[in-house]
Structure 1
Amino acid sequence: MAVRHIYFAGLCLIAAPAWAADGDFLSAAPEIGQLQATSGWYARADLNYSFEQSIKGDRVYVSPAGAEGGSAYMGKEPISGGVGIGYQFNSIFRADMSARYGQNDVFAVGDTSLACGVACRIEASTSQNVLDLDVNLYADLGTIMGFTPYVGAGLGGSYVSYDSVGGELCGVTACLDQVFARGDSDWRLSWSLMAGVAYSISEQLMLDLGYRYTDIAGGDALSGQLQLAGGGLQDFTLKDNGIHRHTVSAGLRFRFQ
């Protein structure tokens, strides 16, 4: 019996360092937990870069002849800014209201064959200004070593406006004498999908790196009158079919105590 007790005590002494090593390994493992604050207000500010965006402008209406062909495309990718105010409901869900503003160059081409009776094209370049106002809902997916990945979706309205422009004529020079296009503006429905990761710099401040896809409904872009070389005026309207934007952003979130 004594030999058996001695054998068991020896096993315990041998296993003790292994148990201690396991404890050290677990204590060194990355901490997986919830957000430090479960609820409260926060403010945000972001700098956005649209690395890819597109616009469709294939509808040109020349009254009273009807619809004609046309196209439009974006210029350089713009940098825009945004601010917002939000509320953290619990360790998972939060929501904010945000505003973003950006400007971009747009090049438009319209076919005026119906107005002139022969092939003739209008080329024009203008600036597009977009103000996004939306409400966003996010789900934070847990915190690992200070990093909190998240996904979200947003719904709102975008105020899209175009600057007025004088057009250049290509093709048959006798078709049109001159053209002036007035920039249109209107509110449009928009929605977004987001994903990103936030890093806790301090208890109140977080660095937010994210991606956002935004889809903006179509509307009027340019309208005016064509001054025909033979006399008379011809109304026209250029409509875009919507704006599709891929954006990466870097910003800060400040939590109020």
Structure 2
Amino acid sequence: MIVRKTILGAAIIAGLSAGTALAGGEIYPVVEAPEVDMSTVAVAQGWYIRGDIGYAASIKGGDIDYNYIGEGGADESRERFDDSRFSKPFSYGFGMGYQFNNFLRTDLTTDFFNSSFDADSSIGRACPGENAGTGCDFTHDSGYNAISVLANGYVDLGTYAGFTPYIGAGVGATNVQWDDLKTRATCVDGASVCGSTAQGDPVRSPGEESWRFTYALMAGASYDLTNRVKLDVGYRYSDIDGGKMFGYSDAEKALGASGTKASDDGFQRHEIRAGIRVTTW
């Protein structure tokens, strides 16, 4: 009996030892995941300032009509500038903005630009003081100065090897100040012969000033020159509402004319822009 108990106890101890050894062969050491210190992850956030220059490859002004007041004030008609051209396509501006994170930012910008304006028109009637049966051609020249203030928002689309593409949109207002319009009349032979070929000094119509609603769409990319300085190159389309251009000349006012002589349909500008952004973080 004693021998049996001894053998049974030895067997149990041997079995437990074997089981423990087998189980120990299948246990792997516990590997803990490393902790991530979020304070070391860079998040773009803070104020920035910017300066830009632009070149308008295309400036469109639409059809522009004006009121013509003929001799004696009785010959009034609505005419059109047949061939109008805008030039001086350069602009410059500055602004301040805020970067909310790596993807969203906004800024307030002010841009300055001007343009010359040249146009031709004609009427199928005699110039003032000319023979009946002749026609009259006009040449016009003026220009305007403009200040545009826009609130803009952008979505940065990620940074790749220092380049950050973006898209954006802006809304605001533009102040347009037209210079005086200078108009020269030239008689054109028709059924009758002109008495002269030019009408002396140009007639001046005073320029008008107005604020116009403006919106813009942008796309481009920035490049990290340093940790704080970015080169920004992009395209901007801006649409400026129409408004007053010119009032009546003194001679036309003497004939009873009042109000606005001409209004434009606004401007659509397609610009290539380049600038620098300096961040504060």
Q: Which of structure 1's runs of 4+ aligned residues deviate more than 6 A?
A: 114-118, 173-177
Kindly indicate whether residue 153 of structure 2 is the aligned counterpart of residue 137 of structure 1. yes
State the 1:145 CA deviation: 0.5
Larger mean Cα displacement after TM superposition, 57-66 or 184-193: 57-66
More off after superposition, 162-171 vs 175-184: 175-184
SS of structure 1 residue aligned to 2:248: strand
* Residue correspondences, number: 221
CA offset at residue 192 of structure 1? Answer: 0.6
Deviation at 1:38, TM superposition (A): 2.7
CA contact (8 A) 1:57 1:72 kept: no
Q: Percent identity?
A: 29
- Say yes or no: does 1:43 pair with 2:49: yes
What residue number does 1:81 align with? 92
Equivalent residue in structure 2 for 1:187, among 208, 211, 226: 211
Residue ranges of structure 2 left out of the alignment (5+ in a row):
1-40, 189-193
Please report how far the alpha carbon of residue 46 of structure 1 lies from its aligned counterpart in structure 2 after TM superposition: 0.5
- TM-score between the two structures when normalised by the length of structure 1: 0.76
Residue pair 1:51, 1:77 contacting (<8 A) in 2 also? no
Amino acid at match of 2:59: Q
Shift of 1:176: 7.1
Tell me, yes or no, if the aligned pair for 1:56 and 1:73 is still in contact at 8 Å: no
User: Does structure 1 conserve the Cα–Cα contact (< 8 Å) formed by 2:88 and 2:114?
Assistant: no
| Distance in structure 2 (CA, Å) of the matches to 1:148 and 1:93 | 12
Match of 2:101 in 1: 90
What is residue 67 of structure 2 aligned with on the other side?
61
User: What are the superposed Cα offsets for residues 69-105 of structure 1, whole Å, 9 maximum, x if unpaired?
Assistant: 2246334342111100001112111110000001111
Q: Which whole-Å deviations, capped at 9, do the CAs of 1:180-205 have from their partners, x for residues lacking one?
A: 11111110011111000000111111
Equivalent positions of 1:1-257 (< 5 A) are 36-62=42-68, 65-71=76-82, 73-111=84-122, 119-171=135-187, 179-225=203-249, 227=251, 232=255, 237-257=261-281
| CA-based RMSD | 2.9
TM-score, with length taken from structure 2: 0.70
Unaligned runs of 5+ in 1: 1-34
